[in-house]
């Protein structure tokens, strides 16, 4: 009988070692946190539109293509986000197609929210409406998608309020969905059946992203053709139809017809023989004296327009006039039209209706233009022009980027002539530029000296615009303070003095943040990457940092630089030699080794790089590169944070480990639930790796992958990070972006995943947050989260309320995993402690001392085994 019991015991424990134990999670409570942005300052992404309210001084909004919308604080003049409540499940709402501010009840604001019209989302567009300047919102779903981040996203505004009857709104839709109208302040909407032209312009049918119909571009009202309290009679609509780009209604929207005498693709002057036919209307504005001004391009933008025009239409006489700004003047003073750009941004001075400004779109070389006219377009003055000696330029402005100095793009800005690099560099790479993707520009309706315009990186503007007319310099400065509109790709928080965080950011490389509340002086350089997709530091020597990313061959001189290393905590960077792209050349010369993720050994002596390109995983060891043939291309890699020789990888449902510095890997676990995982190793714990499996939940291993433990009740986890342990805790704080009890949020655990608390709230959700997360090993409770459009946000425990105590469990001798039970899992943990595989601490160690002699050894294991088998009590 005793022999049988021993056999049964062996069978039980052998079987248990092959299974996946479950740690059951109690329902997650919420704890108060305060949230803010890690300051990059000035923007970082495309600001598509700036919308002043014409009736309330100082009220102005900005819209972005994927980072929500902002309102400008009248006192601080900084922008404040108004859509941070958008949940991860509804991230699509952060793409703002259009925005309207009510000219009558100025507290009302409306947003056409929706990012993509293709199959990248299955969510329809929503019209959001607020009666308190964007503090709270209601919404109405329309039966089609919007395209806040699609081609032509800076045209507009598509969403407009009737200034004479502000209960009426119109919305010009994409994708062949036509014109829509609301008569109850945006609550319900119906299609305007009498408006039959839904547009036909498609940017490029060969690609999914550019294959959609641009549709209707803008709606504008002639408020003088109506009386207060009754609908405006004359309404104009711009349509992406080059043969009939403008429509008008003279009966408050009952009937519509093409505007007589308007220019079409057949009649526009051809300024660039290589361009497409002109005819896409970008903006239409009616001045206070009844002139309709319209800007046109040959494309919808915002990346490319090769030709364009500016026209005006006298709504009183019906006369059309071509007022396109000339590209230059001949020796005899005659205007020349040799455009390589179109026209987009347009604004009329509300104080002086014959004064207007327009922007070029898109003059990548040498810089974009702003044109100003004070005589209704009869003559124009460009903000810069070529000088007498090629390629010198005469500048009519200064440029101040001191509030966001990273806008020098890693180059040395020349203080002479307003910080614009002169000489030959001015032809190729002026630093800083006036801007690019300048799809919208606005003059403050209450102050003719204030002008702002959106770019692909920030909001620029001036407070002395009228000095231009006096022959004096216009002082352009950064006016995007408060806007944080970046897509974050990677985050690390090395525990070193003088560095709070290092971020990898798409489009603008990334930054070493020395102060969370002050923007960095410069982006990371040498090399300056388009986006830093992977970052890592050496846990045992955290001043050593490596980063990898993507590069733009048209922007940077040497496209084969896509990895950098620092040995002084990010103060300086150097390129890793030899150049890996020459060691592993691709069949296509443009397919250099770039992107992906990188893992640096704990001592910083070697690293493993899994790029996004075709070359496969590679290892840098002993000053040279080696191919890692034992891993599939695209595997996600990380390093053990204690043992410099150990690396881990995950790919294709398989967990891999390496014990030779990443040169070879061996599959440790196969047929795991998750197809892929952004695995992360735990600082200070050899063999501890956490495995977020997206929709398969969250797992971890404490023995380098030999045993995989699953956290039950976490139905989704995308990213995981670690930070300083709670006082008295024996395991680092764990942070995830994931789902518990059906709610996707940011969660923290202080007890190795047994209990979780939600640490963000419904007003701080930030849309997509499944890209990067990390805690801070120096500050308990601090967590950094990378968003897709709202930059880096960070949270810290609020001081105005205590955190709830996790639900108590019954603690007694033998209950080593502290779950209120004594079973074979406790025995396994005790055996692993005795074998020095894992070390017990705290209450777990106390409960493992079965005989109470102060020492945990094999005698305690023997006693616990007999208790589990009910041999002894």
Q: Give every CB contact of residue 335 below 8 A, 6+ residues apart in sequence.
A: 326, 328, 329
The rounded distance, in Å, linking the Cα atoms of 299 and 301 is: 6
- Cβ neighbours of residue 837 under 8 Å, at least 6 residues apart? 687, 702, 703
Helix, strand or coil, per DSSP, at residue 827: helix
Based on the residue annotation, tell me whether 306 is a catalytic residue of this protein.
Answer: no
CB 117 within 8 A of CB 176: no
Helix axes 858-868, 824-834, angle to 10 degrees: 170
- 390-392-397 Cα angle (round to 5): 150
Catalytic hit among 65, 306, 640, 826: 65
One of 507, 603, 703, 761 is an active-site residue; which one?
507
Quote the tokens at residue 366. Answer: 């040498």
Cis ω on the peptide bond leading into residue 456 (within 30° of 0)?
Answer: no
CB atoms within 10 A of CB 246: 24
Q: Quote the CA–CA distance of 668 and 670 in Å, as a whole number.
A: 7
Distance CA 736, CA 699 (A): 12
161 Cβ contact list (under 8 Å, min separation 6): 100, 101, 102, 103, 104, 108, 110, 168, 169
Is residue 690 within 8 A of residue 734, CB to CB? The reply is yes
Measured between its terminal Cα atoms, the distance across the chain in Å is 19
Q: Which two tokens stand for residue 832?
A: 């692993």
* Dihedral sign (CA 559, 563, 567, 569): positive
Give the residue carrying structure tokens 């092959």. 18
CA atoms within 13 A on the CB side of 312: 26
**Strand, coil or helix: what is 93?**
helix
Could you list the beta-strand ranges (E) of 273-414: 280-286, 291-297, 308-314, 320-322, 328-329, 335-336, 342-348, 356-361, 370-373, 381-382, 384-386, 393-395, 397-400
314 is catalytic: no
Quote the tokens at residue 180. Answer: 């829509």
CA distance readout (Å), 297 to 179, 277, 304, 361, 699: 22, 9, 9, 8, 53
- Nearest alpha-carbon partner for 28 in 693, 727, 751, 810: 751
Distance between CA atoms of residues 163 and 252, nearest Å = 12
Contact 290, 315 (CB under 8 A): yes
Burial of 203 (0-12, 13-18, 19+ CB in 10 A): buried
Q: Residue length, the chain?
A: 873
Per-residue b or e along 17-47, where b marks 16 or more CB atoms closer than 10 Å to that residue's CB: eeeebebebeebebbebebebbbbbbbbbbb
Angle at 725 between CA 722 and CA 729, to 5 degrees: 135
Residues taking part in catalysis: 65, 507
């Amino acid at each position: 009988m005793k022999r049988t019991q021993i056999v049964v015991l062996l069978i039980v424990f052998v079987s248990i070692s092959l299974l996946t134990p479950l740690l059951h999670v109690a329902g997650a409570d919420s704890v108060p946190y305060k949230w803010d942005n890690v300051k990059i300052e000035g923007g970082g992404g495309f600001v598509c539109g700036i919308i002043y309210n014409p009736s309330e001084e100082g009220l102005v909004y900005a819209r972005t293509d994927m980072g929500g919308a902002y309102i400008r604080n009248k006192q601080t003049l900084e922008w404040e986000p108004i859509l941070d409540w958008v949940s991860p499940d509804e991230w699509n709402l952060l793409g703002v197609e259009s925005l309207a501010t009510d000219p009558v009840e100025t507290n009302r604001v409306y947003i056409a929210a929706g990012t993509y019209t293709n199959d990248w989302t299955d969510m329809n567009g929503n019209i959001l409406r607020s009666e308190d300047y964007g503090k709270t919102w209601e919404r109405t779903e329309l039966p089609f998608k919007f395209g806040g981040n699609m081609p032509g996203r800076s045209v507009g505004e598509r969403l407009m309020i009737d200034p004479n009857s502000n209960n009426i709104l119109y919305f010009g839709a994409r994708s062949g969905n036509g014109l829509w109208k609301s008569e109850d302040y945006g609550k319900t909407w119906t299609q305007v059946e009498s408006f039959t032209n839904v547009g036909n312009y498609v940017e490029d049918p060969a690609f999914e992203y550019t294959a959609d119909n641009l549709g209707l571009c803008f709606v504008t009202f002639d408020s003088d053709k109506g009386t207060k309290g009754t609908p405006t009679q004359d309404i104009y609509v711009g349509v992406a139809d080059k043969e009939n780009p403008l429509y008008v209604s003279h009966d408050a929207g009952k009937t519509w017809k093409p505007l007589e005498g308007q220019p079409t693709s057949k009649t526009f002057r051809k300024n660039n023989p290589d361009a497409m036919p002109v005819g896409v209307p970008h903006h239409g504005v009616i001045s206070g004296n009844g002139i309709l001004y319209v800007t046109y391009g040959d494309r919808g933008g915002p990346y490319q327009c090769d030709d364009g025009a500016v026209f005006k239409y006298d709504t009183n006489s019906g006369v059309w006039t071509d007022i396109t700004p000339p590209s230059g003047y001949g020796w005899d003073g005659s205007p020349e039209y040799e455009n390589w750009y179109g026209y987009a941004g347009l604004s009329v001075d509300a104080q002086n209706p014959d004064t207007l400004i327009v922007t070029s779109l898109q003059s990548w070389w040498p810089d974009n233009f702003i044109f100003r006219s004070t005589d209704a377009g009869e003559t124009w003055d460009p903000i810069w022009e070529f000088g007498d000696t090629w390629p010198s330029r005469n500048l009519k402005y200064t440029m101040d980027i001191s509030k966001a100095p990273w806008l020098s793009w890693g180059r040395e800005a020349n203080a002479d002539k307003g910080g614009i690099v002169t000489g030959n560099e001015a032809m190729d790479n002026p630093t800083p530029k006036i801007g690019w993707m300048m799809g919208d520009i606005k003059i403050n309706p209450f102050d003719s000296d204030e002008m702002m315009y959106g770019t692909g990186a920030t909001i620029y503007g001036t407070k002395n615009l009228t000095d231009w007319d006096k022959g004096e310099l216009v002082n352009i400065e950064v006016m995007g303070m408060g806007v944080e509109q970046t897509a974050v790709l990677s985050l690390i928080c090395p525990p070193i003095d003088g560095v709070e965080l290092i971020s990898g950011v798409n489009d603008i490389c990334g930054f070493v943040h020395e102060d969370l509340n002050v923007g960095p002086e410069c982006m990371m350089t040498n090399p300056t990457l388009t986006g830093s997709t992977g970052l890592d530091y050496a846990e045992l020597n955290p001043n050593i940092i490596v980063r990898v990313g993507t590069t733009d061959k048209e922007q940077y001189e040497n496209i084969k630089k896509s990895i950098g290393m620092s040995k002084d905590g990010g103060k300086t960077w150097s390129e890793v030699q030899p150049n890996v792209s020459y060691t592993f050349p691709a069949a296509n010369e443009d397919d250099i080794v770039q992107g992906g993720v990188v893992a640096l050994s704990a001592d910083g002596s070697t690293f493993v790089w899994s790029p996004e390109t075709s070359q496969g995983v590679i290892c840098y060891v002993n000053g040279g590169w080696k191919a890692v043939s034992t891993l599939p291309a695209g595997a996600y890699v990380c390093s053990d944070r204690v043992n410099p020789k150990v690396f881990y990888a995950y790919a294709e449902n398989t967990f891999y480990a390496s014990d030779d510095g990443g040169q070879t890997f061996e599959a440790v676990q196969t047929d795991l639930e998750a197809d892929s995982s952004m695995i992360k190793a735990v600082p200070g714990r050899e063999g501890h790796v956490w495995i977020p499996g997206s929709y398969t939940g969250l797992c971890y291993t404490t023995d380098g992958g030999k045993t995989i433990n699953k956290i039950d009740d976490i139905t989704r986890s995308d990213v995981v990070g670690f930070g300083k342990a709670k006082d008295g805790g024996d395991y680092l704080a764990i942070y995830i972006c994931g789902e518990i009890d059906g709610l996707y949020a940011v969660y923290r655990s202080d007890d190795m995943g047994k209990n979780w608390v939600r640490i963000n709230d419904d007003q701080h959700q930030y849309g997509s947050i499944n890209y990067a997360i990390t805690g801070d090993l120096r500050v308990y409770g601090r967590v950094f989260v990378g968003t897709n459009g709202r930059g880096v946000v960070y949270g810290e425990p609020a001081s105005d309320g205590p955190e709830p105590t996790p639900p108590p469990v019954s603690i007694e001798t033998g209950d080593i995993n502290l779950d209120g039970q004594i079973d074979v899992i406790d025995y396994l943990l005790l055996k692993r402690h005795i074998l020095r595989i894992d070390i017990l601490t705290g209450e777990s160690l106390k409960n493992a001392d079965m005989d109470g002699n102060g020492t945990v050894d094999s005698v305690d294991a023997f006693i616990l085994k007999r208790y589990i088998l009910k041999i002894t009590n």
